Amino acid sequence: MKQWQKILTVIAAGASFGLMAAPAHAAADAPKAATKNLAADPNAKDLILKGDAKCTGCHDEADEPTGAATMLELNPSVLAIGKTKHGTTADKRTPTCVDCHGDSNDHRLHKGSGKPPKVDRSYRKGTVTTAEDRNSSCMTCHQKDPKRSHWAGSAHQTQDVACNSCHQVHAKKDKVRNKVTQAEVCFTCHKEQRAQYQRPSRHPIVEGKVACSDCHNVHGSIGPKLVKRDSTNETCYTCHMEKRGPFARPHEPVTEDCGICHNPHGTTAENLLKQRPPFLCNECHSPHGAAMPQLAGQSAALALVSKNGVIYTQGRGCVNCHTQIHGSNNPARQDQNSGAPTPQFLLR
């Protein structure tokens, strides 16, 4: 009897040891099983986009970065795309993860705790994916947009600027699409314009009332400097329509290019002028004085405003008299000598 008791005791002890060891063994295998399931889980459900279970099995916002370079090192903002137009599930045109990033089978089916291979098309900083390859995934949908019809051959395209250099596709609010924050994105490259907008005479860019995209089409245009219209003047007339005319007596620089006198990004002279009058005007016009003798013994000039040989500027401001500098509709007067009609020098 005692021998049977010893045998039963040994069997019971062995069974209890097996029960204790089983959970420990299962716990040790759990991370491997979890990693394997996260790599390719056939039962995973889509979270936002159609077919995104291939990616969201690992890339889930609920997981915080651990600081270790593992395949579970996640991007916390990846699911924010659901709050953008690219996450609109009701729109049949909405792209999926693989439409932009490629199938990325090596990355998606990677097993183990090591760092997985890169995706087929990466948009991160320092990526080896070319700008042309990244842009091609965007242009697949956006090529039909008339605002992007001149992208090929544009200044940004030829300089290998990628769409994600300016846009944040996964962000809830894309900075470049907001008037208040758009300029900061542009100033990342355009340093000179950043400095010009700190000058006293400027457009209200910083206040968010005017944005770079109000004048420029960064995706390409047929106008100079990527302006939205066919010319600089036509772009300016979008807001400054009172300067368009037509005038009976136009000012030639005005009809040619507003940029001859103005710098739209900011100046130290008022009204966005490159220099203050009379120095700006003297680049084309010879300075002159009033229609009266200025020195003893000097003969009087004709009784009209004209050049009289005195090289100085009355009042130090041409626009004190020539108020209609962008063009005038004043009637012509008859020249006292020839009898021919003469313009009124853009006076009021």
pLDDT at 136: 93
**Do 140 and 202 have their domain in common?**
yes
pLDDT surpasses 60 at 231: yes
For the chain, give the percent of residues with pLDDT over 70: 69
List, for residues 299-311, the tens digit of each pLDDT value. Answer: 554 444 444 444 5
Residue 164's pLDDT band, with cuts at 50, 70 and 90, is very high
- pTM, two decimals, is 0.73
Task: Compute the radius of gyration of the chain from its Cα atoms.
Answer: 36
Q: Is residue 226 included in any domain, yes or no?
A: yes
User: What's the confidence (pLDDT) of residue 339?
Assistant: 54
The verdict on residue 168 lying in a domain is yes
Do 134 and 189 belong together in one domain? yes
Q: What pLDDT score does 236 carry?
A: 96
Asked if residue 289 and residue 218 are part of one domain, the reply reads no
Same domain, 238 and 134: yes
Q: Are residues 174 and 217 in the same domain?
A: yes
Residue 141 shares a structural domain with residue 238 = yes
The answer to whether residue 30 scores a pLDDT higher than 50 is no
* pLDDT reported for residue 321: 78
Q: Which domain holds residue 208?
A: 116-121+128-244
Residues 141 and 234 in one domain: yes
pLDDT tens readout for residues 168-190: 988 888 999 999 999 999 999 99
How many folded domains does the chain comprise? 2
Omega of the bond prior to 246 within 30 degrees of 0, cis?
A: yes
**Per-residue pLDDT tens for 100-109?**
999 988 888 8
User: 290 and 298 in contact (C-beta within 8 Å)?
Assistant: no
* One domain for residues 162 and 228: yes
Rounded (5°) CA angle 182-183-188? 105
Structure-token pair, residue 286: 């010879």
* Measured distance CA(130)–CA(117) in Å, rounded: 17
Mind listing the pLDDT tens digit for each residue in 232-283? Answer: 999 999 999 999 989 888 898 999 999 999 999 999 999 999 998 888 988 8
